[in-house]
Amino acid sequence: MSLPAPTSDALAASHALQHLIAAEIERAPGAIPFTRFMELALYAPGLGYYSGGAAKLGKDGDFTTAPELTPLFGATLAHVAAAIIAQSAPRILEFGAGTGKLAFDILTELKAAGIELEQYAIVELSGELRARQQALLGGFPQVVWLDALPERWDGAVFGNEVLDAMPVQLVRKTAGGWRELYVTIQDGGFAYEEQPMSAELQRQLASQVGAEQEAELPDGYETELHGTACGFMATLGRMLAQGSGAAVLLDYGFPGHEYYLDQRDKGTLMCHYRHHAHAEPFYLPGLQDITAHVDFTAAAVAAQDAGADVLAYMNQAAFLIGAGVGELLLRTDPSDAMAYLPQANALQKLVSPAEMGELFKVLVIGKNVELPAQLAAADRSHRL
């Protein structure tokens, strides 16, 4: 692959992480599940992609998220939050807050609207990102950082591109049945090795893919199972079911019936390094993001089984337009081209079907609250 060369310090950090992973493989002995490899690559203390010190987001990082494109994104979510907290409590929880830009824009918009917020809680696993958040959000005393999700939450919850970064299991269909892909060491590097699936993983496969769809998939078909994300959604569902509020999850992915198609015979696993996308998870562990598209059906079912209600599901374009992003854009005078055009262009990227508008979906789960009428009218949860 033709990718930008890392600095010597970054390369040394990746080598240290590779040695750590290799040592765990040797202790295993011989192989670890891919989900464990991905967990270490992303979250190993001090060395993993999200727990290390390198910049992840923006022009100096590896990818750009919606809040980095325009403050209109956060301002729009602020109005959704206002509708939710008006029915519950004046509190917001954000999971995986990135640079803190989304929190900043939400808090700024709520303040401008005269809406008092009691607390803005952030759950952040990355020390580097938490430090950036603390620097940016110092002017908002309502912001606190948590190490884990609370048992109960009343208010609004946001997770932008959170589910895609949760470790996945990789599985492959063979003539002898499905096998889980483990990671071993071969010729001095990491390589896949097939191993029998556990009973628990077989149940996850049956739940996500379904017997009818599974039977149609050819031998050699590879895909991801989302045990960690489903566990997170179950925890989130239980948390909301005990109170009143709603969680808005924005991410790229598909409903289950679109996820496991013939053309996705190598799954959806994707890596991001210095604004280059590729499909090699063993490349420079710790220096690149590793993600998989979200199975929104599996996520919704996990939350629903835990007691939450599925309030809405739609693409990002429908969500932002229904939440009033167009009206917010018009607060900038269209005749002022220097101010208006950059915001209009950024919004186009967020809602265009050729950009983020269709690939990104929005799942809203909650309890004892209702969404604004325009959002409820855009609901397509029957497609899950």
* 188-216 pLDDT per residue, tens: 999 999 999 999 999 999 999 988 888 89
Q: What is the pLDDT of residues 221-241, one digit of tens each?
A: 999 999 999 999 999 999 999
For the chain, give percent helix, strand, coil, nearest 5.
40, 25, 35
Q: Is pLDDT at 59 greater than 70 in this prediction?
A: no
H-type helices in 28-114, by residue range?
34-43, 66-69, 71-85, 101-112
Q: Where are the domains of the chain?
A: 1-384
Average pLDDT over residues 32-59: 83
CA pair distance 181, 191, nearest whole angstrom: 10
Q: What is the pLDDT of residues 254-312, one digit of tens each?
A: 999 999 998 999 999 999 998 789 999 999 999 999 999 999 999 999 999 999 999 99
180 torsion bin: left (phi>0), alpha (psi -120 to 50), beta (else): beta
> Coil, strand or helix: which one is 274?
coil
CATH class of 1-384: alpha beta
Return d(Cα 254, Cα 293) in angstroms, integer.
7
* Antiparallel, parallel or unpaired: β 294-295 and 245-254: parallel
Residue 60 has pLDDT above 60, yes or no: no
The three-class DSSP label of residue 49 is: coil
Cross-strand bridge partners of residue 310: 365
pLDDT for 62 = 54
Do the bridges between strand 91-95 and strand 155-160 make them parallel or antiparallel, or are there none, so unpaired? parallel
